[in-house]
Structure 1
Amino acid sequence: MYPSAMPPRQVKIGDAAAFAGTTPRAIRHYHQIGLLPEPERGGDGRRRYGYDDMIRLLWIRKMAEAGISLDDMRSAFDEARDIEEILSRLEDTLAVREADIKRQHAAVQRLQAVGSPLGLLSPLVTDRLSHIPADALRPSDLDALLVTERIFGPLGAAVQASTFIVLATHPDLRADADRLDAADAALDDSVDPHDPRVEELAAQHCAHHRALDEAVEADGLDAAEEKLFEIYDADLTGDEDVRMSAFEAITKMPYDFSPARMRCIELTGQLLALDGQGIPDDQGTPDDC
């Protein structure tokens, strides 16, 4: 006996999409890119899909689930390309995705373990700061590490982490840093860049940097930095996530600094450079001081 309701010989786009597990919009896109031949329309002007159309839709669905691109599907159907080439390229793509998923999973685990945005920075930076309480780091500290990591890579930020370890464990140095930050903020647009206070503040910044360096050495943090350079490439711009040179990155990072504050930064840099050369302050005053 034949069933009372025979299956239709053709179906409309909505029924075809429902059976194949896709959407009418996707089917229309397949037509546009030539992946699925567009069927003839019925007397009502609507597309009608037959058995062969449905089979092709089901194969498209299976290939999409496997991660095969639409372009490669078209080539596979047309037999215009070796299937081995398609699968080899797909395997490479999946390997990249797998590596991305592993990195994302590791980042989530670090966030859970650290309990702060510090976990979003590279493992190199997170590990260096793991022995101090997360609340000992200020949001501005994390902001600075984020910028350094973008410009100089994880190794550069991991080296900079020594400064924030010292600030978190030496209240006197943190208080001095806060005082200098307040003085920097006072160098607004109303201050003449050649005001004597600018030169004096630069000297204070230089002295503060010296004190930080001494604390880093006294706490043995410099040994940890040397170990980092032994383990990792010393090229601070070699990180794969750095897409521009350090100079380009710095020139693209906006800072709303007044001319007086910019001159203070420049003078501080000159003093630190002279200090690094072992030149006494009274014999190595910057030319524009």
Structure 2
Amino acid sequence: MPLPAIPRRVKIGDAAALAGTTPRAIRHYHAIGLLAEPERGSDDRRRYGYDDMIRLLWIRRMADAGISLDDIRAAFRSTTGIEQSLARLEESLTSKAAAIEAQRAAVHRLREAGSPLGLLSPLVTGRLRDLPPGALRSADLDTLLVTERILGPLGAAAQADRFIVLATHPDLRAEEDRLAEAEAALDDTVSPDDPRIEDLASQRCDHETALAAAIEGSGLEEALDALLDREDEHNGEEEDGARMSVMEAVGKMPYDFSPARVRYEERVVELLHSADQDGDGDPGAR
């Protein structure tokens, strides 16, 4: 069977089709000096010969491997100069593979949890996994999100104990809701000198002390200590950006607190600190 007519040179569209690229890309290779300009036909259009096609095929194969165009140019000049480029490329690919694996794990946790809880770290997700549906409120998840950003997964895992106790102690949850409603009422119509602020801050301090006692009595602290003992297993995933202090975060978060609410929060911190110093309890973080 005779061979079909074999062209000695092909147009740019045919060259692009064979190489698996586009005419635009080939023109770019010409512009940056990666691929020499070929001869032109009588119609003043580029015509590509066998050697041009071999060069183009190697360019595409290296580009598909992730090698930059500058490094491809260096590789054509000398094989010795490509080694450092390949080492950088391999390091970059390793980093990308780790990032992709972390994304896959996050998607898996999200699907398994069936709620935004799965987007938090495995430490927090695992700690709250056994709570019944609906026990963890949307506002609780918001708080954990902020805490994990500020204090990291371990800080959020410790705070998760608070929500476990609230979910399993109806009386404490009812008191939490009552206090939250009273705190929300400290709007711009309330003076920072209103005597109700001191009374409400004292009630909040008592509530935090009761919460801390419930956490201690539940054995959750021992479970958290076990997590701390295995902290080495989670070192690689804890840092997800530079950590900031609580006060720095408070200064950056747009809390819509009235002057009365700000004064109330200050008094709560002062009372909790005083109670801790006096040994009357360890209310812990709110």
Give the direction of change, closer, same or farther, for the CA distance of 1:8–1:267 in structure 2 (3 Å limit): farther
TM-superposed deviation, 1:133: 2.3
TM-superposed deviation, 1:111: 1.6
Give the direction of change, closer, same or farther, for the CA distance of 1:6–1:201 in structure 2 (3 Å limit): same
Contact (CA 8 Å) 2:123, 2:154: kept in 1 or not?
Answer: yes
- Alpha-carbon distance between aligned partners in 2 of 1:190 and 1:254, rounded to the nearest angstrom: 20
Mark the runs of 5 or more structure 2 residues left unpaired by the alignment: 282-286
Contact (CA 8 Å) 1:153, 1:242: kept in 2 or not?
Answer: no
Give the direction of change, closer, same or farther, for the CA distance of 1:79–1:130 in structure 2 (3 Å limit): same
Percent identity over the alignment is 61
Contact (CA 8 Å) 2:152, 2:243: kept in 1 or not?
Answer: no
Give the direction of change, closer, same or farther, for the CA distance of 1:276–1:28 in structure 2 (3 Å limit): farther
The alignment's TM-score, normalised by the length of structure 1, stands at 0.85
Tell me if 1:182 matches 2:181: yes
- Partner residue, 1:275: 275
- Which amino acid in the other structure matches residue 277 of structure 1? Q
- Partner residue, 2:252: 252
Contact (CA 8 Å) 1:205, 1:268: kept in 2 or not?
Answer: yes
TM-superposed deviation, 1:64: 2.4
The alignment's TM-score, normalised by the length of structure 2, stands at 0.85
- Alpha-carbon distance between aligned partners in 1 of 2:31 and 2:193, rounded to the nearest angstrom: 67
- Alpha-carbon distance between aligned partners in 2 of 1:36 and 1:19, rounded to the nearest angstrom: 16
SS at match of 2:134: helix
Deviations 1:9-60 (A, max 9, x none): 1312x33322211223333443444433444665656544433332222212
Deviations 1:135-187 (A, max 9, x none): 21111111111111111111111111101111111122112112222122211
- Which amino acid in the other structure matches residue 137 of structure 1? L
Contact (CA 8 Å) 1:114, 1:134: kept in 2 or not?
Answer: no
| TM alignment of 1:83-162, pairs within 5 A | 83-162=82-161
- Which amino acid in the other structure matches residue 210 of structure 1? T
- Partner residue, 1:27: 26
- Which amino acid in the other structure matches residue 11 of structure 1? K
- Alpha-carbon distance between aligned partners in 1 of 2:28 and 2:200, rounded to the nearest angstrom: 65
Contact (CA 8 Å) 1:151, 1:242: kept in 2 or not?
Answer: no
Give the direction of change, closer, same or farther, for the CA distance of 1:129–1:29 in structure 2 (3 Å limit): farther
TM-superposed deviation, 1:244: 4.2
- Alpha-carbon distance between aligned partners in 1 of 2:249 and 2:79, rounded to the nearest angstrom: 45
Contact (CA 8 Å) 1:107, 1:119: kept in 2 or not?
Answer: yes
TM-superposed deviation, 1:134: 4.2
- Partner residue, 2:10: 10
- Partner residue, 1:286: none
- Partner residue, 1:73: 72
SS at match of 1:135: coil
- Which amino acid in the other structure matches residue 254 of structure 1? P
Contact (CA 8 Å) 1:145, 1:161: kept in 2 or not?
Answer: yes
Tell me if 1:229 matches 2:228: yes
- Alpha-carbon distance between aligned partners in 1 of 2:39 and 2:115, rounded to the nearest angstrom: 59
| TM alignment of 1:210-225, pairs within 5 A | 210-225=209-224
- Structure 1, 103-112 or 243-252: larger mean CA deviation: 243-252
Contact (CA 8 Å) 2:11, 2:45: kept in 1 or not?
Answer: no
- Structure 1, 106-115 or 75-84: larger mean CA deviation: 75-84
- Alpha-carbon distance between aligned partners in 2 of 1:183 and 1:196, rounded to the nearest angstrom: 14
Give the direction of change, closer, same or farther, for the CA distance of 1:27–1:266 in structure 2 (3 Å limit): farther
Aligned residues: 277
CA RMSD, aligned part only? 2.7
- Alpha-carbon distance between aligned partners in 2 of 1:257 and 1:30, rounded to the nearest angstrom: 59
- Which amino acid in the other structure matches residue 176 of structure 1? E
Give the direction of change, closer, same or farther, for the CA distance of 1:163–1:11 in structure 2 (3 Å limit): same
- Alpha-carbon distance between aligned partners in 2 of 1:9 and 1:74, rounded to the nearest angstrom: 24
Contact (CA 8 Å) 2:41, 2:47: kept in 1 or not?
Answer: yes
- Alpha-carbon distance between aligned partners in 2 of 1:43 and 1:139, rounded to the nearest angstrom: 72
